[in-house]
Structure 1
Amino acid sequence: MARMTLTEIKARPSTIDWTRVNATTDDDIDRQAREDGTEGEIPGLAAPSPATVRRHLKLTQKDIAALAGVPVATWRNWEQGRVRLDPAVQTLLRVLWREPDAVRRAMVA
């Protein structure tokens, strides 16, 4: 298995078109989800995706992260698939999807 140093990794050209990514609106994401058939909660999956939950609640990443009690960077990592969602996170997503007011009540100090 070939290994690369961090310097080598950083030197590689990105395959991500960040201009296009940053220009993508929530309306674009909703349209793409409808086209892909991934809009809303998908039967058979453990939980709706973090982005689906956030759009369903009409919240910003900052606001949903605060509601969930996690740093906004963590929420972004969940949405962007950088980390695997453990069962506790999947449960949180199901509760946020189905009972957001219960989460709001529970998070009050």
Structure 2
Amino acid sequence: AAALADPDNPPLTEVELDRLESARRVRRARAATGLSQARFAAAFRINIGRLRDLEQGRTQADSALLAYLTVILTEPEAVARALATGGA
């Protein structure tokens, strides 16, 4: 009750919690590859500024990007092959 009443430290909103969960998912996918932000962004054709914003929780990934990250997490070689053969 005291925490909820503290005006200097309000609880996170649902939107803020969703953004933090999105950031964790993005960081987890990148960490699984062992790549830096710059190399991950280049390898998987994700804008580096967008990747940084996502990882820092400034923006939230949409469902398409979350799906793409899931594929990267489970089949990174398949994604790399698809991108190398012209799949833009």
What is the match of residue 18 of structure 2? none
Deviations 1:21-52 (CA, angstroms, capped at 9, x unpaired): xxxxxxxxxxxxxxxxxxxxxxxx89x61111
Selected match of 1:104 from 60, 67, 80: 80
What is the match of residue 58 of structure 1? 34
User: What count of residue pairs does the alignment treat as equivalent?
Assistant: 64
Selected match of 2:52 from 70, 76, 79: 76
What is the match of residue 68 of structure 2? 92
What is the match of residue 13 of structure 2? none
What is the percent sequence identity of the aligned residues? 31
CA RMSD in angstroms, aligned pairs only: 1.9
CA contact (8 A) 1:61 1:72 kept: yes
Any stretches of 5+ residues in structure 1 without a counterpart?
A: 1-44
SS at match of 1:49: helix
Q: List, as ranges, runs of 4+ consecutive aligned residues in structure 1 with deviation greater than 2 Å.
A: none
Instruction: State the TM-score, normalizing by the size of structure 1.
Output: 0.53
Greater helix content: 2
What is the match of residue 33 of structure 1? none
Q: Distance in 2 between matches of 1:53 and 1:64?
A: 10
CA contact (8 A) 1:53 1:97 kept: yes
**Once structures 1 and 2 are overlaid, which stretch shifts more, 61-70 or 93-102?**
61-70
Q: Distance in 2 between matches of 1:77 and 1:56?
A: 19
Instruction: State the TM-score, normalizing by the size of structure 2.
Output: 0.65
What is the match of residue 43 of structure 2? 67
Name which structure has the greater RCO, CA cutoff 8 Å, separation 6+.
2
What is the match of residue 8 of structure 1? none
